[in-house]
Structure 1
Amino acid sequence: MTYHITKSVGKQDFSLLKQKVIAALQEEGFGVLTEIDIQSTMKKKLDKDYKPFLILGACNPVFADQVLSIDPNMSALLPCNVSIRELDSGEIEISAIDPIAAMSSLGNPAIEPLATAVRKKLENVVEKI
C-alpha cells in the first residue's frame, strides 16, 4: 500500500499552481492551516539548495472533529499534508497523504470510514489539478 496520492502535472508556473491546489482544497471543504516552504527552510537552515517545494497542512474541520471525537490522539496525524514540488525535469508533482494508509493501521475500525471519505476528497483535489 502506498502512503500518498500523487500526480505529475507537467511544467507550470509554481505560484499559480499553488493557488489552484488551495482552491481545489477549498472546494473539498479543506482550509490550509500551515505552509512550509522547504526550499527556503533548507537554504536558511542547511545552506542546501532545493527546487520549489511546499507542504500545505490542510484540514477539513468536519472530518477532523469526527476523528478527534473518536480518538483525540489522532491529532498527531493531523492536518493532512499536501505537497507541491518541482522535479528535476521541471515538471511539478502534487502529492497528498493517503489517510487510509496513515490511520487504518491503528486498529480503530470507527476511523476507517472517515479515512476513506477523506481519501476520496484528497483524490478529488489531486485529480482537479
Structure 2
Amino acid sequence: MFHYTIEVQRGMNETIKMLEESLKKEGFGVLWKFSVTEKLQEKGFDFPIPFVILEVCNPQEAARVLSENLLAGYFLPCKIVVYKENETTKIGMPKPSMLISMMNHEELKKLAEDIEKRLISCIDECR
C-alpha cells in the first residue's frame, strides 16, 4: 500500500496535540497545519468532515535527502493527515519509501525507509 493509516480512540484536537509532541521528540517539526475543512467552508463548500494536513520536516534529514538528489525535494515536506471517518479519528501518511521508489535511487530509498519507520513510530505513539 502507498500509505500507512491507523485508527485512534480520541478526538481530533487531542490526537493532533499528541502527534505534534511525538514528532518533536523524534526531531520533526510541524511547518504548517492546514484545516482542509475550514478552507473549503471558507470558500463556500459544504465539507463537514474534519480533515487536517500537517506538513512535517526534520531539517537534518531534509538536508541529507536534498544532498543526494534535488528532485527528491518534490516530496518534501512529509505530510501526515488527521481526519474523522464515520466518527473514528484516523492518522495517516503517504509512505516516503513509496514516493522515493519512483526515483530508482538506492541511497535515497534507504533514507526514506528510515524516515518512514520514524514517522510510523510517531503515529503509533498516538494509539
TM-score higher than 0.5: yes
SS, match of residue 110 in structure 1: helix
Return the TM-score normalized by structure 2.
0.93
Q: Which amino acid aligns with 1:64?
A: A
Cα deviation code 1:9-56 (max 9, x no counterpart):
13x232111100101111111000111101101112242223211000
State how far apart, in whole Å, the 2-side matches of 1:62 and 1:46 are.
40
SS, match of residue 111 in structure 1: helix
Q: Does 1:112 align with 2:109?
A: yes
Q: Which amino acid aligns with 2:52?
A: L
Contact 2:11 2:89 in 1 (8 A): no
Q: 4+ residue stretches of structure 1 with deviation over 3 A?
A: none
* Aligned pairs, number: 126
Shift of residue 106 of structure 1? 1.0
Return the TM-score normalized by structure 1.
0.92
Q: Which amino acid aligns with 2:63?
A: D
Unaligned runs of 5+ in 2: none
SS, match of residue 54 in structure 1: strand
Contact 1:38 1:50 in 2 (8 A): no
State how far apart, in whole Å, the 2-side matches of 1:46 and 1:103 are.
36
Q: Does 1:123 align with 2:103?
A: no
Unaligned runs of 5+ in 1: none
Identity over aligned pairs, percent: 25
Listed as ranges, the matches of 1:1-129 within 5 Å are 2-10=1-9, 12-88=10-86, 90-129=87-126
